[in-house]
Chains A and B, each alone.
Chain A
Amino acid sequence: MFKKVLIANRGEIAVRILRACRELGLETVAVFSEADRQALHVRYADEAYLLGPAPSRDSYLRGDKIIEIAKKSGAGAIHPGYGFLAERSDFAQAVLDAGLAFIGPKPSAIAAMGDKAVARATVTAAGVPVVPGTEGEGALSDDELLRLAPEIGFPLLIKATAGGGGKGMRAVRNLEEMPELLTAARREAEAAFGDGNVYLEKLVEGARHIEIQILADEFGHVVHLGERECSLQRRHQKLLEESPSPFVGDDEELRQRMGAVAVRAAQAVDYVNAGTIEFLVDRDKNFYFLEMNTRLQVEHPVTEAVTGVDIVKEQIRIARGRSLNIKQEDIRMDGWAIECRINAEDPYNNFMPSTGEIAHSLLPTGPGVRVDTGVYPGFVVSPYYDSLISKLIVYGSTRAEAILRMRRALEEYRIVGVRTNIPFHQNIIDSHRFMAGQFDTQFVEQRFSMEAADRGRETLPEIAALMATLVAHQQTERSAHIIQRNERDTSNWKWIGRWERIHR
């Protein structure tokens, strides 16, 4: 059984995994790129090794080097986190071949769920409903896709075969705009995954994105930890998640039905470790299998908050060959949790990424607040990796309490040096639709704008005017001082000389 774990990741998730290892009494090994020498995960780990230059392909994607470091440092297991190598079956296989434990599913399960066509065929065979589309039909040409599109019906989605995280994804409303969108989707997919293949999928309108967390051990026990509501997305990137889902609410029958289907989907690929089954749920509570994420999710803390299960520690226990010590009937969802993803993005400027040094940061604390972050004052947010710098999670006994707590925590949070999307979250939290739980996956993009939200709330223009004027005044005073000092430094004779030269 391993006693030392290498964490093949960076940022907040590397720190999260380090913490779980510490609590289990395991030694830790961090790996880092040249841009991350001062990152928190490097500072927190027992050992740390340089991988290579900043770009991911030269560092965090270097599976060969990571395995070499694991062997050199005596680590017995590798935790991949999310992103980077987490869903690469060849990497998982290489880890096993090197005689190390992979804290995640078997390579065969990653491969089965990673190829979406295989995934759909497998879960369909297990009696799990899927969304209509061309996914099972391999790599099709633009002409073939254009011919098949009307059969599936508009609106539909173009999605990258190798995809995930919204890259290479486009919504199509009609046949006329489709060729251009196909080109854009293929270009983005090619850039992101080195594979420009795309497929079509019916767009379920008014759809919610609800996912089920599962845990499975080596002995065939599979349990689900209830659902997470992830409908608040922008460009298919999740921004705010909660558990339970206000849509499922107290419909325990729906929850258990989705949970049972998720368990069946996991069993269909002989799944071991933590995983998530994503469903699209329509207005009439029909749900369709979307995909399975064969890794730890960014939003796992909301499930941890309401179930009391430490998912990362469970992952490690499962990888150490232990049997699950929780039974389905022991799992209760208690209270309500909300997570806001704090990204270095400017919500007032089309969510443009923002880079720079974190000059100052004041974290929200107090009852029911958890912050998972990888940054601290003095750390430089670089353009090489994604813009998630922190996750703010709150817990309340009811949804209303959680919302009010999140509002309070967002107001406390101060990050100086980069722009963040905190104002966006403040506006979402205050919107009537969010409070009422009435939103779908299109809400952020189609029915929400920062300007409208700003207009709708109680404002303090007098205070804003006063503060801006005071800052402007300070600045004028300061520059006036500088000019005066310069005048004194220059003798009158020099002034006359200059004046004469100008007017010669």
Chain B
Amino acid sequence: MKYITTIGDKEFQVEILDDNRVALDGQVYEVDFATISRQPVFSLLVDGKSYEAYIYEGDDGWEVLLQGTRYPVQVVDEREHRLRAAFGRGAVQSGDFHLKAPMPGMVVAVPVAEGQAVEEGDVLLILESMKMQNELKSPRAGTVSRVRVTTGDNVERGQTLLSVV
């Protein structure tokens, strides 16, 4: 199986040959890859060198924490890569943004109102959790719609709080 793996502006061709052999940009490596004590900690032995990393799957690809450095990584298989190339980058930039609670907590303030125009980086809501007030910001410009919570509400992790369209 062939994959196209991207970190920032660097692109790697990775081919999984079998359980112990991987080709990175054409160069074949002997690898021993294992999950340590349940995910997300993984261990990789490659040509005698030992690496350990946390690997998380996010909404936007993979996140690798390796020796104190974080790498945002995109992995697509060859077929998917060709499809994407054929249909352009499939720029799905628009679409509604639904602000979800990143953790359980209490709504301290909602400084925006329905119908209000917001810029990228504007504070949409202040959520208190673990005795800290956290400002949740808009990732893009748009109009606030459907404010589903009010000040004083307790919310669960992942609950949709409001939307920006």
Interface on A for B, CB 8 Å cutoff? 167, 187-188, 191-192, 344, 348-350, 352-355, 359-360, 362, 383-387, 410-411, 414, 416, 422-423, 426-427, 430, 450, 454, 457, 459-473, 475-476
Residues of A within 8 A of B62 (CB): 468, 471-472
With a 10 A CB-CB cut-off, give which of A188, A344, A427, A460 has the most chain B CB atoms: A460
How far apart are B122's CB and chain A's nearest CB, in angstroms? Answer: 14
| Contact of B22 with A471 in the complex, beta carbons under 8 Å | no
| Contact of B70 with A468 in the complex, beta carbons under 8 Å | no
Our count of residue pairs bridging A and B at CB distance below 8 angstroms stands at 152
| Contact of B73 with A464 in the complex, beta carbons under 8 Å | yes
Interface on B for A, CB 8 Å cutoff? 1, 3, 5, 7-8, 10, 12, 14, 16, 22, 24, 29, 31, 33, 37-42, 44, 46, 51, 53-55, 57, 62-71, 73, 75, 77, 102-105, 108-109, 128-135, 157
Q: Which of A386, A414, A457 contacts B131 (CB 8 A)?
A: A386
Q: Which of B38, B65, B129 contacts A360 (CB 8 A)?
A: B38
Q: Which of A187, A360, A383, A465 contacts B37 (CB 8 A)?
A: A360
| Contact of B70 with A465 in the complex, beta carbons under 8 Å | no
Residues of A within 8 A of B14 (CB): 465-466, 469
Residues of B within 8 A of A359 (CB): 38
Task: Tell me whether A360 and B41 are in contact in the complex, defined as CB-CB below 8 angstroms, given that A466-B22, A468-B73, A473-B16 are known contacts.
Answer: yes
Known: A348-B63, A385-B130, A475-B57. 18 other contacts (CB 8 A): A187-B108, A353-B134, A354-B103, A355-B104, A385-B131, A416-B37, A422-B68, A463-B46, A463-B66, A464-B66, A465-B73, A466-B24, A466-B31, A467-B64, A468-B5, A470-B44, A471-B55, A471-B62
CA–CA, A160 to B67, complex, Å?
40
Residues of B within 8 A of A192 (CB): 131
How far apart are B32's CB and chain A's nearest CB, in angstroms? Answer: 11
| Contact of B130 with A463 in the complex, beta carbons under 8 Å | no
| Contact of B130 with A454 in the complex, beta carbons under 8 Å | no
| Contact of B68 with A457 in the complex, beta carbons under 8 Å | yes
CA–CA, A422 to B42, complex, Å?
17
Residues of B within 8 A of A350 (CB): 134-135
Q: Which of A383, A423, A461 contacts B68 (CB 8 A)?
A: A423
| Contact of B53 with A467 in the complex, beta carbons under 8 Å | yes
Q: List 22 A-B contacts (CB under 8 A).
A: A349-B102, A350-B134, A352-B103, A353-B129, A353-B132, A360-B37, A360-B38, A386-B130, A411-B68, A416-B40, A423-B70, A457-B68, A459-B69, A459-B71, A463-B51, A464-B71, A466-B44, A467-B64, A469-B12, A469-B16, A470-B16, A476-B1
Interface of B is mostly: strand
| Contact of A465 with B66 in the complex, beta carbons under 8 Å | no
| Contact of A471 with B42 in the complex, beta carbons under 8 Å | yes
With a 10 A CB-CB cut-off, give which of A348, A359, A450, A463 has the most chain B CB atoms: A463
Residues of B within 8 A of A411 (CB): 67-68
CA–CA, A386 to B64, complex, Å?
27
With a 10 A CB-CB cut-off, give which of B53, B71, B128 has the most chain A CB atoms: B71
B77: nearest chain-A partner, CB-CB:
A476
| Contact of A416 with B103 in the complex, beta carbons under 8 Å | no
CA–CA, A467 to B73, complex, Å?
10
